Structure formats: C-alpha cells, structure tokens
Amino acid sequence: MADDRETWTTDEFGTSHEGWVGVLLADGTVPAPAFFDTGSGPDVHQTSHWSVYDGRFSHVPRAAALRGVCSCGWTGPDHVLDWSLIGEQDLEDAADEQADACCQDWDDHTSAVEATTIPLPETITHLLTQLEAEIGKLGDTSPLAAVRAVRWLEITASGAGYWAARSAQQDTTPARAAAALGLSEAATRRELARLGRWNPYHA
C-alpha cells in the first residue's frame, strides 16, 4: 500500500538521503501511518503526511511537534506546535512555517553530508560546469548538435566510469566508498555495479 507523504531528494544523493516532515506525539513517540476508508469498497487510504495528525479523528493522534527526518537516520530539531494558536485551522495551513523549517533543516543536513564527501579537483568541477554551460548555449542555436554532444558525453562518462568503478571496487571497502560518495552502502554497491557493469548480487 503506497504512502503519499511528501519527500525530498537531491540529484546527487537520491534516496540515500530522502527527507520528509516527521511527526512527534506529546509522549515523544512517532505515530503509525493513518488509515482512512475511501468509501469505495475495500480500498483504504494510507498516509503519513504530517498534516493529517490534527486529532480530528479518534484513530489519528494529534502532533505535538514536527521535525525533519532523513532515510539515513538523521533527525532534525523539534518544531513545537502551539495548539492554542492553531485552534480549528487546517494543520497544513497553520503549521506551514514549521514544515518549511523542517525542509530547511534537511537542506542543512544534506549540505553537511556533501561537505564530508570526497572532494573533487577544482579543474574537474570547473570543466563540468563549463561543459554544462556550453551545451546549454549550443542547445539554443542547434538543439540536435546539443543532443549529439550529450550522447558523446554519456559515452565518454560510461567508459571512464567503467574503469573507475572497477578500481574503486578493488581499492576500498563498501563502508569507505559509501562515506566518500555520501550514499548508503546498498546504493554504493548498486552504483559501482552499474558503472562497472557487474551484477551487484554476484560481486
């Protein structure tokens, strides 16, 4: 059963650092997902979206605080909800500021993760930035030429990635590789296997 809570990811870290607004109850516990009867046969809607925890339904508790949460296990500071001010307002509107603060906390977290990853030489970052800009300009005047440039870039990256991934597989441990890349160990194994073109389940 799918959960419709809103999540955030970055292009570089993906689901290794997937974030969302978490809910804390007054006793400090995290509530279970809420279930709602959709009224259409046996279908039941499941959600962990923070806005439903307003205590209006007997089976859904009321949130005491919101905090940023990440799939890596990180949690941000509590942003307390003042129900004397919220009153009968919809929680999604009344606590929008607290939810935005959770997102900002998670942004700060991913920035901190990025700061711990293996640094790239300035020449590489400069070339990549310049290449992206040049392909963008080419796309304005000749989109097909830009497409060809992107395909060439993908082919070049694929060749370079193959040898880099195989060398990394031999030279380091999964834990060290994951820390260097800012990914989970499972995601690191998949990424190295993709670049090195081996089966991650038989490596």
The ranges assigned to domains in the chain are 7-116, 122-196
- Over 60: is that where the pLDDT of 57 sits? yes
Q: Tell me, what's the pLDDT at 1?
A: 44
Q: Tell me, what's the pLDDT at 35?
A: 87
Q: How far apart are alpha carbons 169 and 171 in whole angstroms?
A: 6
Q: How far apart are alpha carbons 202 and 199 in whole angstroms?
A: 5
Q: Tell me, what's the pLDDT at 54?
A: 96
- Over 80: is that where the pLDDT of 79 sits? yes
* Closest residue by Cα to residue 75 from 27, 20, 33: 20
Q: Tell me, what's the pLDDT at 130?
A: 98
- Over 80: is that where the pLDDT of 135 sits? yes
Q: Tell me, what's the pLDDT at 40?
A: 60
Token couple for 85? 């001010």
| Greatest Cα-to-Cα distance within the chain, rounded to the nearest angstrom | 61
Range of weakest confidence among 22-36, 40-54, 92-106: 40-54
* Average pLDDT value for residue range 131-155: 98
**Mean pLDDT for the chain overall:** 94
